[in-house]
Structure 1
């Protein structure tokens, strides 16, 4: 069975004089001794048994060891002995590898990027990028090396991810240029090498009568209280799906009817205030009885140490019969934006503030995070009341201003 980082970290030396061997496959194994954990690969060349030493763990990661093993097999297939006569095949500790650069860059970005974005980048690096080019010296990376990574991703149908990984590699390489590890970012040379991303907006229901049907479907949805509560709060709060599912109880003041989302979780890196309508507070108080003892408002059903899966809301919508080209979790933001403006005639600047979009004042400066908060509270309550009427089947007449300032 292939090794994992978690398994390797837990390994302890048994005391066996020859050391403990743990195979990863393809002749690569980890030799555990009292002093260290050594990466090795056994092979035969010209009829003789030989051993390659790739360095020690964790200085040489599992992904890097596998990449070195793959490179050694390529040399053997070409009839070349992969074992150098004077120096090991593993990069010297001072060698500036792409893997080292990538992790250093990611660490620096933690200050300015959301936790969700950081996790996404780390996942791409660990699963797709570093196993292929992580052990390569940054200065030696060519466009074809990056292409080899992203074409594998493209081949499994993940077109958008392939483009995002190319962008990620470019950001890392540009950081490498800035600190003198390489001369240039080679990713611009790959322009046109990937299939274009189909450009589509998040599917959203923006007609009140169709939204009414969706709200009634949500009301009838049978599932775990965590998923049901998240479904009911999504149209009420219209925050980004990632912000909702990662919500923590410490961020809420239900007595004050407020939810303060920390800057680290926000796309714009600014704390965001969400006034809570009475309907939202009621849902949250009921949910608190179930999940209030833990950290997350919407914990995973598998472990309370993690939040709800990013697919939970969309999966529920699919199960209710709303296809992905009809409605998505993110689409509730567009629903609110359109109906608040075109039907309820709410002020556009209040809507944009509540969507956590950047709003500029007449002097060209960004409003602070608490701008127009009393007016936003009233708007959020009007929105919740409107959704109640829609759900109940009331005929909602669009409110339009008359020339004299009255309303129809």
Structure 2
């Protein structure tokens, strides 16, 4: 029949299920009336591949007949050139969300990363990415969504904001690889300026720290800090160290590629104090011990931040921060700064940058170059010594001219 708003309103309700009354004007266009009395405009059509579809345009309370009929005509034009409105709706319902992307990122990508890296990334995703974007479709995330998140985090944690964008950029890069979208909305975000940290413990701080370690109640944590100082290794390498990596007779630590940042085996000699510390730990360990620093269950020790704060407070390696109306003391050095301190000791002793880089496991000379300025002191002492010899004023000393008349 020829439909109208009045006719649609007067259509009887079926006893059960639903009944469709089609319009004479547009083929496939009609009104569906349910047993509950709901009325909605629909369009039946066939796709280019021959599939029969039924698309719901909308409720008769939201659409007038004339507007719904025009929408049906427009949809039929799109269908004639290959469009599939119902297929697009189904695809949208099945489209992956950012929560799905985070889940696959953790399962397929973070499992290949070091434990500490995976732990940090998961915390970042849980605390910042998911609360802001989890319900958004991956294909719907825009540059402005990520830029706004970056700006929000930047107000309190500028460096963390940069890390968040970096993680999102990697996630959407993988989304392209997985064919979940065709571009990366995290590209082009203007990052916050970052100043590289160059924090080393002074000789006085180092002495206070070693004294504080002797009084720390948790001596396992104290020994982790000692081994970090004696080897310059990364925190994750020390905490995950296994006894089969050490040859205490030869004094060598062979770190497997799976535990190093460069993913390559790193073989380093151990100093006498480091060998002594490990020997004492080995004597106290169980015969079947796997980890040098075992944790609960079958895993290694993980959390030592509380112990680091305790030892820094005892050693006076602190900075004062105002929190509300209170002044709070916090460590002025990070655990990672023990690695910097080890490197600074080597540089100040006059060792070459290639030697320092080899001991630290650096793959790029530029990474070790940050310690080059620390070599100035021993070099200055050496040149001063040479100057004092050449220009000696002591009685009986004679300055001899260099050959060549210079």
- TM-score range (shorter-chain normalised) is 0.5 to 0.7
SS in 2 for 1:187: coil
Rounded Cα–Cα distance in structure 1 between residues aligned with 2:190 and 2:209: 42
Partner of 1:180: 179
Could you tell me whether the CA contact under 8 Å between 1:294 and 1:304 is conserved in 2? no
Residue 162 of structure 1 deviates from its aligned partner by 2.4
Runs of 4+ aligned residues of structure 1 deviating over 6 Å after TM superposition are 89-93
Identify which of 305, 309, 315 aligns with 2:303: 309
On the 8 A contact 2:253/2:268 being kept in 1, the answer is yes
Moved more, 229-238 or 104-113: 104-113
Aligned to 1:281: 275
What corresponds to 1:332 in structure 2?
338
Matches within 5 A, 1:35-46: none
Say yes or no: does 1:299 pair with 2:294: yes
Q: Tell me, in whole angstroms, the C-alpha distance in 2 between the residues paired with 1:133 and 1:145.
A: 8
CA positional deviation for 1:115 = 3.1
Instruction: Assess, with a 3 A threshold, how the Cα gap between structure 1 residues 308 and 248 changes in structure 2: closer, same or farther.
Output: same
Distance in 2 of aligned mates of 1:354 and 1:208: 21
CA, structure 1 residues 308+277, in 2 after alignment: closer, same or farther (shift >3 Å)?
same
* CA drift at 1:173: 1.3
Aligned equivalent of 1:225: 219
Residue aligning to 2:11: none
**Long gaps (5+) in structure 2:** 1-85, 320-330, 366-377, 390-406
Deviation at 1:111, TM superposition (A): 7.6
Q: Give the direction of change, closer, same or farther, for the CA distance of 1:359–1:187 in structure 2 (3 Å limit).
A: closer
Q: How far is 1:313 from its partner?
A: 5.6
Report whether the alignment pairs 1:319 with 2:319. Answer: no
Task: Report the Cα distance in structure 2 between the residues aligned to 1:280 and 1:257, rounded to whole angstroms.
Answer: 9
Q: Of 353, 367, 371, which residue of structure 2 is paired with 1:348?
A: 353
CA distance in 2, matches of 1:359, 1:95: 42
Any idea what the Cα deviations from partners look like across 1:207-227, whole Å, max 9, x if unmatched?
Answer: 445534443443x43322202
1:91, 1:152 → 2: CA distance?
32
Alpha-carbon distance change, 145 to 303 in structure 1, aligned in 2, over 3 angstroms: farther
Give 1:117 deviation, angstroms: 1.5
Q: Secondary structure at the match of 1:121?
A: helix
Q: Is the 8 A contact 1:154 1:162 kept in 2?
A: yes
1:124 is aligned to 2:130 = no
Q: Which has the higher contact order (CA 8 A, sep 6+)?
A: 1
Q: How far apart in 1 are the matches of 2:127 and 2:97?
A: 17
Q: 1:358 aligns with which of 357, 363, 378?
A: 363
Partner of 1:100: 100
Aligned residues: 276
Larger Rg: 2
Counterpart mapping for 1:25-174 below 5 A: 94-110=94-110, 113-147=113-147, 149-150=149-150, 153-154=153-154, 157-174=156-173
Q: CA deviation at 1:110?
A: 4.8
User: In the superposition, relative to structure 1, how do residues 335 and 312 fare at CA in structure 2: closer, same or farther (>3 Å)?
Assistant: same
1:378 aligned partner? none
Q: CA RMSD in A?
A: 3.8
In the alignment, the residues of structure 2 paired with residue 313 and residue 115 of structure 1 have an alpha-carbon distance, to the nearest angstrom, of 20
Relative to structure 1, the CA distance from residue 288 to residue 90 in structure 2 (aligned partners, 3 Å threshold; closer, same or farther) is: farther
Deviations 1:330-386 (A, max 9, x none): 2222223233223x22232111100111257xxxxxxxxxxxxxxxxxxxxxxxxxx
Distance of 1:178 and 1:213 partners within structure 2: 52
Matches of 2:204 and 2:382 in 1, distance apart? Answer: 18
- How big is the shift at 1:95? 2.0
1:262 to 249, 256, 261: 256
1:234 to 2:240 alignment: no
Distance 1:215 1:313 in 2: 14
- Name the CA distance, whole Å, in 2 between partners of 1:312 and 1:333: 19
CA separation of 1:178 and 1:359: change in aligned 2, threshold 3 A? closer
CA separation of 1:153 and 1:250: change in aligned 2, threshold 3 A: farther
TM-score of the pair, normalised by structure 1? 0.57
Cα gap change, 1:258 to 1:179, in 2 (>3 Å): same
